[in-house]
Amino acid sequence: MVNRRRLMMRKRKIAGWVSALVLGALSTLSETKAMEEEGGEDPLGKISDDCFCPRPLVPCDGRVVTLSRIATGSQLRRIHFLYEFGSQAIVIPACVEELGEGCFAARDLAYVAFEWGSRLQGIGVRAFFSSKLSSFCVPSGVETLSPWCFSGCFFLSDFAFEFGSRLQEIGVRAFSRSGNLQSVCIPSSVVALREFCFYQCKTLTFVTFPPDSRLQVIEHDAFVEARLRDIIIPGGAYLGNGVFNESPITSIEVRSRAGNPFISRPADICSGAYMGTGILSKVVIPQAVVILWCDCFAHCVTLTDVSFEEDSQLTWIEEGVFSDSGLQSFVVPWRVEKIGSGCFEDCKFLTSLSFEADSQLTRIEIRVFACSALEDIVLPKSVAILDRKCFCDCQSLSHVAFESGSQLVRIEEDAFSGSPAWVVLPNGEIYPATQLNWGWTHPSVWNFCCPEPPPSMGDLLKSWVGVYEAKGPL
């Protein structure tokens, strides 16, 4: 019974969609017929001088193009679903304010031109989805490119925005799988690039932002599988998870936005923003970045150099940020208070790591340097706790020391398991790492908690043996 009800509900939904589409098409045809009667013009004709388009409407292969033009003087406000069935090019009059959902989807339409003074404000969802567009120029009044509007346009190679564009947002998957798009200049008015907006644009090599760009966010996976090699991002923009994943990018620069109000908000680089990025080799973290979220540079095996602008504001480095990367050396900014678990894990080329003076770091968390190639390290005096397995399996680690005046309180068990290092404790005692597998606590802590020092592991074993000998086996 439940399955039958669900099937009936689905049938009703589909019937509703079909009826809405049919009504939209019929209303458009009636409007068009009325306009032709009023205008008295043949809708088929030549493009006049009162329209604009990114390039002349001349097909590259010499084909004869069927051109359709809505009658001049019409008052049509909206082009509905599947308007114009047989045309390969169309001129849209200035009065049109909206291109409806799917209005030219999956059509043979190759060229679109707009009359000067176009009042177009919206391009609907899937408006040109999987069409044969080869070029397009967005009128200045359009504020949003809706989701999927140019998705699957495999022949789209020229895309531009009219001067003075007021575009605010490029929607979800707006250009996904546009296989021939090579470059895009994002207008300065754009504040958001939504998720997957340039997904699988496999010929897209250049994306530029003007110096006065007001961009605030690039959502996750925006440029996945694009062919970007270098990009300059406006400062203060929030980068989502995996923005450049599987792109062969080699250079990322973040432009300073001095005097821009958006730079005052907390800036960060989001989780997985560059994870697995192709051949990225060098990154300079802007001064305003406060947080590096988890995995943002994970698995960037060609990333060898990460540096920070002067007076970096960075305070948190989250879990796995540089795990399995190609880093060779690293300097931790002094404001950093937290380095998350596994941050440098499996960095097989990381031989040197140091801290700026007056470091604020208080804790080395679980597996932060596990399986890395560190040879020696001096931990800042602010560090109070070494967590479990923080230096485990560091086969090249020979020496661990602490700055004078160290506030170290506790070393958790197995902190150095599998590492051949010698550890110089703050009190001057030197131990091989194997002797610290049971952990270590500063004597002052024991004196505060207990009037007598705790028994050693050897004393405990002797007491257990004595009890066994006295009472015999159970």
Give 275-316 as a DSSP string.
TT-TT--EEEE-TTEEEE-TTTTTT-TT--EEEE-TT----E
- Tell me the DSSP string of 208-267: E--TT----EE-TTTTTT----EEEEETT-EE-TTTTTT----EEEEE--TT-GGGGSPE
- Tell me the DSSP string of 405-463: T----EE-TTTTTT---EEE-TTS-EEEGGGGTT-EE-HHHHHHH-SSPPPPHHHHHHH
What integer pLDDT is reported at residue 72 of this predicted model? 46
Put the strands of the sheet holding 399-402 in their side by side order: 376-379, 399-402, 422-424, 430-432
Residues forming a β-bridge with 267: 289
Residue type, position 168, single letter:
Q
Residues forming a β-bridge with 139: none
Q: Radius of gyration over alpha carbons of the chain, in Å? A: 32
What distances in angstroms separate CA 237 from CA 214, 240, 264, 318, 335, one per listed residue?
A: 9, 10, 11, 19, 21
Contacts of 78 (CB under 8 A, 6+ apart): 96, 97, 98, 99, 100
What integer pLDDT is reported at residue 400 of this predicted model? 94
Query: pTM of whole model > 0.95?
Result: no
- HSE, CB side, 13 Å, CA atoms: give it for residue 199: 18
Distance between CA atoms of 35 and 42, rounded to whole angstroms?
11
Distance between CA atoms of 437 and 451, rounded to whole angstroms?
25
Query: Are 286 and 235 contacting, i.e. CB atoms less than 8 angstroms apart?
Result: yes
Contacts of 335 (CB under 8 A, 6+ apart): 312, 313, 314, 315, 360
What integer pLDDT is reported at residue 55 of this predicted model? 39
Distance between CA atoms of 80 and 124, rounded to whole angstroms?
10
Distance between CA atoms of 293 and 127, rounded to whole angstroms?
36
What distances in angstroms separate CA 406 from CA 90, 91, 336, 385, 410, one per listed residue?
A: 75, 75, 17, 11, 12
| Tokens linked to 135 | 């070029």
Distance between CA atoms of 439 and 388, rounded to whole angstroms?
9
What integer pLDDT is reported at residue 236 of this predicted model? 73
Distance between CA atoms of 373 and 435, rounded to whole angstroms?
21
Residues forming a β-bridge with 89: 67, 111
Distance between CA atoms of 217 and 239, rounded to whole angstroms?
6
What integer pLDDT is reported at residue 44 of this predicted model? 31
Query: Are 363 and 385 contacting, i.e. CB atoms less than 8 angstroms apart?
Result: yes
- HSE, CB side, 13 Å, CA atoms: give it for residue 471: 8
Query: Are 317 and 336 contacting, i.e. CB atoms less than 8 angstroms apart?
Result: yes
What does each of the 474 residues of the chain score in pLDDT, given as a tens digit? 545 655 666 656 555 554 544 444 444 444 444 444 444 333 333 333 344 444 334 443 334 344 455 544 455 676 765 444 566 788 888 888 888 888 888 888 888 888 888 899 989 999 999 988 888 999 999 999 999 999 999 999 999 999 999 999 999 999 999 989 999 999 999 999 999 999 999 999 999 999 889 998 998 889 988 988 888 888 778 777 778 877 787 777 776 554 332 222 334 454 445 555 556 777 888 787 888 888 878 888 888 889 898 889 899 998 999 999 999 999 999 999 999 999 999 999 999 999 999 999 999 999 999 999 999 999 999 999 999 999 999 999 999 999 999 999 999 999 999 999 999 998 888 989 888 888 888 877 654 444 455 555 556 555 555 544 555 554
Where does 27-167 sit in CATH, by number? 3.80.10
Residue type, position 389, single letter:
K
